[in-house]
Structure 1
């Protein structure tokens, strides 16, 4: 089923906002204080420091190559939004400085840039996009191996950030690592707050009533898993649901109302692919 035009429009606007915040972090905090970055952005910074190549040019060239690699491994929706994101980041990188902030205490811009980067990436991921570069690799690791996006990005970015010390110096290399770590933490927090998925396993004797109520509340199908109790020998269906954190809060009062003694297991899901099996309509 195709997404409504309003959803696509909202995602495109969200990506533009995330691209703007990301570019502000690069133009106003990283480059003026000679702090590096990871992934493609780190390579653009190195190119800027060593060869005076405009970051917008490096960003487009390198990300085009990586997008061609990700084209076969990621869905076309993600690729489309990623191309949209790369275009806007390249556009905003050509804009002049906005904050005009400069300080000798380089730890401060490293921390602020990390927060900005984490929020920017959270917005872009929330809209089903990536900034290409290492985020394409992080998306692949998340999709196929279940590694949290922020953690996967940190691992990929360190591959570029650590050798950058040969150009920007050891001190600024350490500042880069600090910035990357803060960015990864903020991104994971952002995803946990707004985009995390949770799995609910519910065991109750009131299976039919519980399933019907939950399905009506969520407006979706409910997956039933057949279980067998080792001690009691009793066969019973277990209710299995994938939902958001907000939906978890909505379901708990309903579950307690139907069966206060129901056994509930909640786990955070790091990666969800495909659609939930709608075994009970």
Structure 2
């Protein structure tokens, strides 16, 4: 969804699209809350600036303590969006604006309602690990809905436009600069912990998105290929492709049924095949992203 949606009233084609949009914003909201919880309850009390607008806000709060971290996050995101619109263009969607500003607002509300005077535990490693895992899983959920929490993503796009730096490297470079600033503000030890948090954050986000999007590519050789195909199409409501194949050893001609389904449907399919043909030959591969009919829109 582009910025043009602010100015153009777009009618949804039926309730399915509207339901899908509501579902997207529900997941984004869940992700936002997780990011805010990981940040406020675990990372902020230890001054662990692991990049992004939230990490930068923690560092700035050290020098400007009369502004809360939540307020600084809101200011940073607004400023970055304005710069992004002027420099890069209208490539930031409504979902990203909602996620980035919303996360900042939730943190600000936590600061006003649930004041924390000290870390939950004395072990900084526990604070770092729990904070990173909770917030990174939240970020992964937000990213999976084709949104982002703003911050260094926008800086990376600006660097990409003017210097040709890849987006991933731009985000990593920006987060690294923030951890260096944290080192100057809070000392080299906290700076190194923050850098470790940046690395863990990237790993957990990637793992979360892979886990959410994980599907199974299934190829089935069976004498009952027609029945299996009908089960996939009519019961699982998924598509399938039939290939004509010839066995190298027997020379028999058979149909190979190929399909891509989620993990829950794979369990159902395997049980069905087991019930009708225990001699079926099945190969299964993990697929981490599927685009097209019935899955994620290729335009997103």
TM-score category (smaller protein): 0.7 to 0.9
User: 1:92 is matched with which residue?
Assistant: 106
TM-score normalised according to structure 1 size = 0.73
CA-to-aligned-CA distance 1:9-63 (integer Å, 9 cap, x gap): 2332332232122123334433332211234444444444456781211123325
User: 1:208 is matched with which residue?
Assistant: 226
Which runs of no fewer than 5 residues in structure 1 stay unpaired?
139-151
Q: Which has the larger radius of gyration?
A: 2
The answer to whether structure 1 residue 168 and structure 2 residue 186 are counterparts is no
User: 1:144 is matched with which residue?
Assistant: none
Pairs within 5 Å for 1:86-125: 86-97=100-111, 98=114, 100=116, 102-103=118-119, 105-125=123-143
- Check the 8 A contact 1:18/1:119 in 2, yes or no: yes
The answer to whether structure 1 residue 60 and structure 2 residue 73 are counterparts is no
What displacement does 1:114 show? 0.7
User: 1:271 is matched with which residue?
Assistant: 289
- Check the 8 A contact 1:35/1:110 in 2, yes or no: yes
Query: In structure 1, how many angstroms separate the alpha carbons of the residues matched to 2:154 and 2:280?
Result: 41
Distance 1:161 1:134, change over 3 A: closer
User: 2:27 is matched with which residue?
Assistant: 14
Distance 1:172 1:10, change over 3 A: same
- Between the two proteins, the alignment pairs up a number of residues equal to 258
- Check the 8 A contact 1:203/1:237 in 2, yes or no: yes
* SS in structure 1 of the partner of residue 177 of structure 2: coil
CA RMSD after TM alignment: 3.7
Distance 1:38 1:211, change over 3 A: same
TM-score normalised according to structure 2 size = 0.69
What displacement does 1:113 show? 1.0
What displacement does 1:217 show? 2.0
Pairs within 5 Å for 1:1-281: 3-49=16-62, 54-63=72-81, 79-97=93-111, 98=114, 100=116, 102-103=118-119, 105-125=123-143, 127-133=145-151, 157-169=171-183, 170-188=188-206, 190-191=208-209, 194-227=212-245, 229-231=247-249, 235-275=253-293
Distance 1:100 1:267, change over 3 A: same
Distance 1:163 1:80, change over 3 A: closer
